[in-house]
Amino acid sequence: MRTAIVRFSLVATALAYAAPLARAGEGPVRTFDWPALNRRAVEEYLAPVRPGVPGKSPFWNVAARQFTYVPAFDIEEAPGAARYRIQATDLTTGKVYSATQEKPWAPVVELWRSLPAAAVRLEAFALDDKDNVLKQVTIGSVQSREFCRRPGFQGPYIPPVKDYRECALLSLKRVLDFCKASKLLQTGKADPRAYGYFCYPTKMLAALTMGLCRYAAAAPAEREEAVRMARATADILIQIAAPEGGALAYLPPTYQGDAYAAKGQNQVIQMTEPVGAMNAYLDLYEVTKDAKYRDAAFRIADTYSRLQLADGSWFLKYNSQTGKPATSNKVIPESFLSLSHRLEALGFAQAKTMREKVLPWLMAEVVTPFNWEGQFEDVGPSQHYRNLSNYQAVFVARYLLDQRAGHPEYQSLAESMIRFGEDQFVLWGRCSVPEQKAKTFKPSVMTGWLLPCAQEQYGWMQGINASAAVFIFGWLSMYRVTGDELWLAKACALGDVMTHTQRPDGQLPTYWSVNGELKDDNWLNCEVWAALAMLELADAHATWASGNKAVQPK
């Protein structure tokens, strides 16, 4: 099957989509108007994403090596210059493309129209009023920059091989089977020797709990067993949490053992992770109505309240033994914002105050400068703009869309954040790159990988199912708010590929490789997020296919 996918020709793809696309159980047949959507997509990529302006807004793309939307660069102005020539050399063919513009730092729109999907070297020259070159001007602190001008969305892509909902439920069934085989219920332990990524216990157990709760709701025949296993995974987290009275009381550990990034970090708690535990406990409380799990979430929230700084923020990492911060970087609380509303609705009194304190900090320190630092437990804190990621940007955007009533600026702001994610991390097709540059520009080449795909962070530019899930969530939010089918078509494109990756046992592999690269490196949390995204996509597509209008979700 995977070999067939690799050889899938554009003609075969087009023919597959020329016929009405039917998915079992999803209502009447309906197709996208591909020519119209593709024309719109081309024009939209000529609109820059949050362009920098000297002295007003920072250039967030100083470390970027690929762009889909037209970029703007921090190019210096030269005294006496009448205009500027922005020049790009195709590193494969040597062909030079150029355009002139009044301001060097303005988006390079005219140049972008002419560039192929290829690795290029960008240079800029100050010109006099007769177009003579005065000098070559710097781009930031360098004379030139190399990057890939990536291709944009142009559907259709490969059609799905199964129904979205079927794909999701097969995966969640496999998650349940994994938990049973791991004997979590019998042993009361998540042993990294049995599954290596249990060295990140909070991330894995919280995701398993959430996935099992969702499966219990969607598969009545296995509800009892799924709930029982969800209790087991949640109970392990509660059991291994920091003790009452400690510096970080009730926070479950980010690391255990000495595998992977956990080695030497067992005393460190990263504040992105206990939020997942709180959400998992509240999911389980909704399913069981057992106050034990609501109260467990409240206890963690109490500690977050106590640790919240005067400016509303939290440090990204704390030492669990001393309670002191382990880094000066602050956490981007994208998941906490939505969680705070859940806590508030269930009676946690401090939730609203905590949210109202952190939101202004987030807007000023992260959203405005567009500093979407990748905050993963297996990478270290980074300097501004050096390791950007899509996760935080897209989930904050989802939150802003949910809260847009009374805040008309939130919608356009959220859209820019979601477009940023696509610009930097979604690969719709391959780029032409010279062989000697293949390693540098591997993220834009991705030979041997299913495309389109979504990549994770500058430090790990691989096609990952959880990254695809993030975009499915984000694009569906935009679709429900705007009714614009281009957002839905993009979500379906990644969902369709997801169905091709599924293995016979139901597993949704973390990596979308068809040549075996990283094939056995499977992250359960990523699989759960992929399955949950496919469930949401199934609902949205079914609504669209039946001819109904998009509806903003709760």
pLDDT for res 17? 38
Task: Please state the pTM of the whole predicted model.
Answer: 0.94
Chain CA centroid to CA 235, Å: 29
Instruction: Give me the residue label for tokens 């205009």.
Output: 83
Q: What is the CATH number of domain 193-331+333-371?
A: 1.50.10.20
Quick one: which of 191, 296, 189 has its CA closest to 238? Answer: 296
pLDDT for res 24? 40
pLDDT for res 549? 72
Alpha-carbon distance of 324 to 307, in angstroms, equals 10
CB atoms within 10 A of CB 154: 15
Alpha-carbon distance of 316 to 392, in angstroms, equals 13
What is the widest separation between alpha-carbon atoms in the chain?
81
Taking the alpha carbons at both ends of the chain, their separation in whole angstroms is 38
DSSP state of 261: G
Alpha-carbon distance of 422 to 333, in angstroms, equals 21
3-state helix, strand, coil in the chain (%, to 5): 45, 10, 40
pLDDT for res 304? 98
CB atoms within 10 A of CB 223: 14
Q: Is 456 helix (H, G, I), strand (E, B) or coil?
A: strand
Phi, then psi, of 184 in degrees rounded to 5: -65, -35
Q: Is 329 helix (H, G, I), strand (E, B) or coil?
A: coil
Contact assessment for residue 493 and residue 32, using Cβ atoms and an 8 Å cutoff: no
pLDDT for res 552? 62
Best CATH choice for the domain 72-149 from the list 3.30.1490, 2.60.40, 1.10.3470, 3.40.50? 2.60.40
* Ranges in the chain, pLDDT < 50: 1-28, 554
- The structural domains of the chain, with segments of one domain joined by +, span 1-53+62-68+150-187+384-554, 72-149, 193-331+333-371
User: DSSP letters of 171-208?
Assistant: HHHHHHHHHHHTTHHHH----TTTSGGGGSHHHHHHHH
Tokens of 331: 């956490």
pLDDT for res 551? 63
pLDDT for res 26? 43
